[in-house]
Structure 1
């Protein structure tokens, strides 16, 4: 809503002209696709078309709509000025903008005239939303000013402010050494959510979020002193939030280890937090399970964190089969969320461990950068240390170990089974197997050039060294491959390569392909397919670990 209550602001992408629809309303495949840009498709979206996403407004009284911004570019994160006369938004209105993934500029557009003004700002990505100060003189955004220097997720996105004319740029939260992207991964709790910075009515504070050691905290930035302070409870995992007009209360969608997400209220005056909803109480009360336990361990002096889920009716005197579950990203993090997949595996009788090896976000830039140019290390060493720690607890059967993971976690699963035979069964999901081919067949594959010092033909030895396919003849672990046929992030060709090679080598391998599903099958796939995926995983481990 506009502050004066007269208009609604929204982003709109019109139906593309070249798409034809049959009598049943189903889209017909085009005769051809003529592609000119390096970035021409997006996972879970499909192929880009000839239209663009732009800023529109509608009159709340009459219902009339009007396109405010035009051009052969996409708009993002629009927000109203306090006087409702202009809209600020993010875009990159430059040549080859689709290939310049780490650049966004700030613009202001007059609602009445449509005149656009550029707000000079530091270079770099600004994906985390945009907002005006109460007096309309300053803009706040989340981003960083070091584009194209490191692999995705290494550089911390932080809070920035600057005047609407582009002067007086300030940064907040650098000393926290944490990213302000919401990168905690799960299959119920949403990831990569965006909440624009929230100003208090006096314009003296801004509230925003950070990811930190499996948590997602609310942070208050004092604009006069430049200092930042975490104001949420120690174990908060806040995914999205908003405040009342007086900024006395902040309500957030919060995760926890014991229950699917609920709503929580944070009193910004006293700091007290109260759970507002109990929507999942009947579901939780109907289940018997052991809540995941947070654990800490070390590897060569590096402190590491993870979570352990034990089966129902757990008996510490027994020996249990064990599953290591590895997250994607690579620069995401596991955290204090109700992770359905982990509880399903525990229900089947396994002790499950999931951890944040080096390369994860949430532990500082140095930690996140540790795997740059060498994706598998020191992550492999950290993951093996996690397994060793679990065995040291006394109730894990060291001869019945399993490993699984998706995306980068699938890459690490592939790496593990081609470098050790300590696991009796493995499931690799939506994985990366060959870095050179991923460069060309992923929707954003060229971006890994920042990880590995250039393109495959420029740094051939590095791509070969860190590709699991290079060592595929060493794999003796029974392997189940799960991949979605419409995965544009880790193209299904990556799964094809592993399956064909292992079949050729006469190894124990099976392949499950899910039609119509994108990269995020485990999080937002069709329910029957999500259920089938979990059953395949449990059945595979039952076959080799029980």
Structure 2
């Protein structure tokens, strides 16, 4: 380790700047983006920055203890739109393209989740939380005191991890006319709408929704086109799958979208589709390419960054989109015959982009294991990209980074498995070090060539860190991602054990008597499963985990369909199968010291899952502790209160220090 550099600390999440959401101006000379950082306690701040392509550094445009996001230049170049909760709830704000003070343009009760300029710059479509009975209402400047009353539940989908218990509101499309400053509700009914996209004539608006009568039980998402002049709502797909992120072609004849037809339930890989807006003919363009369309990479410094979906070239001969393969997410182009070639395909994580059709160039956000992310200008015919930002330069100068070493090995049945090994930050030849096995959630996600603070922190604390993409992960084709369904704790488990065996045989610096394991969500399930099926690990930390599939089906916000999709078992048809898949069944075999970490407000893997495992183990006098995080949902490790994210990492490291 360099004498000038220090190990990464848990509280470095407050020192890492996270950039996202690039948006190029219409004239193509500048772009806007969001820069976010964690504050104290439970606060995050995000601001809008602008950078002219001829300038060395971006300029901050919004300030204060606020969360500004979703910047978009007006098509006529006059204004910059962004969303902000600076007035209390998230609303539309505009700034002159010359700068100045932002101005609030909506005051919608329930707030706004997305917005999109009309091509004529005369109106803005947006999605708002609306009580269908009451319609659009102004947000009161005074906080309303709600009476104490029970909550009546009559829907299957009555809660979600991000929103909590659902109320009467639904996500509806609305229109802000900038000439009259009036808002109009565009959709109605007990349905949720999202993913706005304007046709070039400013008369048609596309979006996604499940507007079927059985939408509570149905997983399908259709594409719709609303004709603003006639108020006609046209359904463009046939309720055969999930279609989102639609974008219009320049001539308004076609929509390009991301989707699939649920052939393998939620393990189905995404494809690029083209929909003829006149004939409603739907064509899957990437069927012969066995690659996940979109960004499947996971990390802990960024989450829920928006994907622009498939975007058209000016001449409509190409479509550009993200795709994830073998631990990397790149940018690709496809012609109208379905031929695909890379625009950017390197061992890193391209997490977002903006495309300027007239000048044919991209602004792309790229991260790698040594950098949380910066923006680059990409010209399709240029050999090298132009770096535009270096937002974490000062931070990276001060800390010692461990660069993961890629590895590949054969599973028990001969399948090839990919992964990475990180050496301790202060690695010295001839020394032996404990190893921590990290297991990702999903399971349909992908560890990637991106920056991961948690793993850097464990390496800084003296651990080798092993992480792999076992079967069930994205990035290795349809058969690979589907292979885990109905086999949780089967070959996915042996993939992980084979990874441990491989690195013990290949790297002499790993102390095989000091092995730890951790993971969250599905990774928490697998951690629970591992400690019930082997005693080779001397310490384990299970996070937001699943221990009992029988109760999970009824308490999780996705449980009523997830067990059928993923385990191919359900109540009341096969309760014995759900029990066989449950780590709780095997608690008598647990001898590994286990720390259980869970968010109190987790509705994806509710805290009762951790409670059951803790009480069962404690009653058997096993070595177990239970760490409960207040005001934390399933996103604790990525977007939870900063102070609790720091506590989480420190407790994890302390547990491993105690037993390894």
Counterpart pick for 1:115 among 214, 217, 232: 232
Equivalent position SS for 1:251: strand
* Correspondence for 2:525 among 411, 430, 435: 411
The structure richer in strand per residue is 2
- Range moving further from structure 2, 330-339 or 89-98: 89-98
Distance 1:27 1:199, change over 3 A: farther
Residue 250 (structure 2) pairs with residue 138 (structure 1): no
Q: Paired residue for 2:91?
A: none
- Give 2:269's aligned residue: 156
Contact between 1:190 and 1:239, CA under 8 Å: does it hold in 2?
no
**CA drift at 1:272:** 3.8
1:93 deviates by 1.6
CA deviation after TM superposition for structure 1 residue 237, in Å: 1.4
Partner of 1:36: 154
Aligned-CA RMSD value: 2.1
- The answer to whether 1:280 aligns with 2:392 is yes
1:508 equivalent to 2:623? Answer yes
Q: Which moved more, 1:64-73 or 1:431-440?
A: 64-73
Q: Is the 8 A contact 1:189 1:261 kept in 2?
A: no
Q: 1:332 to 1:214 in 2, by over 3 A?
A: same
- How far apart, CA to CA, are the structure 2 residues paired with 1:316 and 1:389? 20
CA separation in 2, counterparts of 1:90 and 1:320? 51
Cα shift at 1:247: 5.3
Deviation of the 1:123 alpha carbon = 1.3
Cα distance in 2, alignment partners of residues 241 and 85 from structure 1: 26
Structure 2 match to 1:341? 454
Q: Could you tell me how far apart the structure 1 residues matched to 2:351 and 2:428 are?
A: 35
Q: Structure 1 residue 274: deviation in Å?
A: 2.8
Matched, 1:249 2:361: yes
Give matches, 1:114-263, under 5 Å. Answer: 114-121=231-238, 123-127=240-244, 129-145=245-261, 147=262, 149-152=263-266, 154-191=267-304, 193-223=306-336, 225-246=337-358, 248-263=360-375
Measured in 1, the distance between the counterparts of 2:633 and 2:227 equals 39
Q: Secondary structure at the match of 2:130?
A: coil
Which residue of structure 1 aligns with residue 565 of structure 2? 450
Question: Equivalents in 1 of 2:193, 2:442: separation in Å?
Answer: 25
Deviation of the 1:192 alpha carbon: 6.8
Range moving further from structure 2, 70-79 or 264-273: 264-273
Runs of 4 or more, structure 1, over 3 Å off, are 14-19, 21-30, 269-272
Aligned-pair distance for 1:193? 3.7
Distance 1:500 1:247, change over 3 A: farther
Q: Secondary structure at the match of 2:365?
A: strand
| Whole-angstrom CA distance in 1 between matches of 2:250 and 2:239 | 23
Q: CA deviation at 1:174?
A: 2.0
Residues 478 and 83 of structure 1, relative CA distance in 2, 3 Å threshold = same
Per-residue CA distance 1:72-106 (angstroms, 9 max, x = gap): 211111110111011111112221213212x1222
TM-score, with structure 1 as normaliser: 0.94
- Rounded Cα–Cα distance in structure 1 between residues aligned with 2:141 and 2:181: 29
Report what 2:222 is aligned to: 105
User: Can you give the 5+ residue segments of structure 2 that lack an aligned partner in the other structure?
Assistant: 1-116
- Check conservation: 1:413, 1:428, Cα contact below 8 A: yes
Say whether residues 1:289 and 2:401 are aligned partners: yes
1:434 equivalent in structure 2: 548
Q: Evaluate the alpha carbon distance shift between residue 338 and residue 29 of structure 1 in structure 2; reply closer, same or farther with a 3 A threshold.
A: farther
1:461 lines up with 2:579 in the alignment:
no
- Alignment of 1:58 with 2:173, yes or no, is no
Q: Distance in 1 between matches of 2:474 and 2:392?
A: 29
Name the SS of the counterpart of 2:390 in structure 1: coil
Query: Residue 80 of structure 1 corresponds to which residue in structure 2?
Result: 198
Residue 185 of structure 2 corresponds to residue 67 of structure 1:
yes
Distance 2:524 2:464 in 1: 20
Contact 1:200 1:247 in 2 (8 A): no
Secondary structure of the residue aligned to 2:223 is strand
Determine helix, strand or coil for the equivalent of 2:344.
Answer: coil
- How far the C-alpha of 1:460 sits from its partner, in A, is 2.3
CA deviation digits over 1:377-424, x for unaligned, max 9? Answer: 211111111111221210011111100000000000000000000011
Task: Please state whether the residue corresponding to 2:206 is helix, strand or coil.
Answer: strand
* Residues 480, 509 of structure 1: 8 Å contact kept: yes
Paired residues, number: 538
Deviations 1:241-288 (A, max 9, x none): 111131511112221110111112221233643322110111100102
Instruction: Mark the CA change 1:316 to 1:62 in structure 2 (over 3 Å): closer, same or farther.
Output: farther
Greater CA drift, 286-295 or 21-30? 21-30
Contact 1:358 1:382 in 2 (8 A): yes
In 1, Cα distance between the equivalents of 2:140 and 2:202?
42
Which shows bigger deviation, 355-364 or 114-123? 114-123
Q: Structure 1 residues 533 and 495, CA, compared in 2 at 3 Å: closer, same or farther?
A: same
Farther-moved stretch of structure 1 (65-74 vs 366-375): 65-74
- TM superposition shift of 1:121: 4.1
On the 8 A contact 2:272/2:284 being kept in 1, the answer is yes
C-alpha distance in 2, partners of 1:100/1:247?
42
- Are the aligned partners of 1:120 and 1:165 in contact in 2 as well (CA < 8 Å)? no
Once residues 243 and 416 of structure 1 are traced to their aligned partners in structure 2, the CA distance between those partners, rounded to angstroms, is 45
C-alpha deviations, 1:90-132, integer Å up to 9, x for none?
Answer: 112221213212x1222211223422222244610113x0111
Distance 1:527 1:253 in 2: 24
| Counterpart residue number, 2:513 | 399
Q: Which ranges in structure 1 are unaligned for 5 or more consecutive residues?
A: none
Q: Residue 15 and residue 531 in structure 1: after superposition, are their counterparts in 2 closer, same or farther (change >3 A)? A: farther
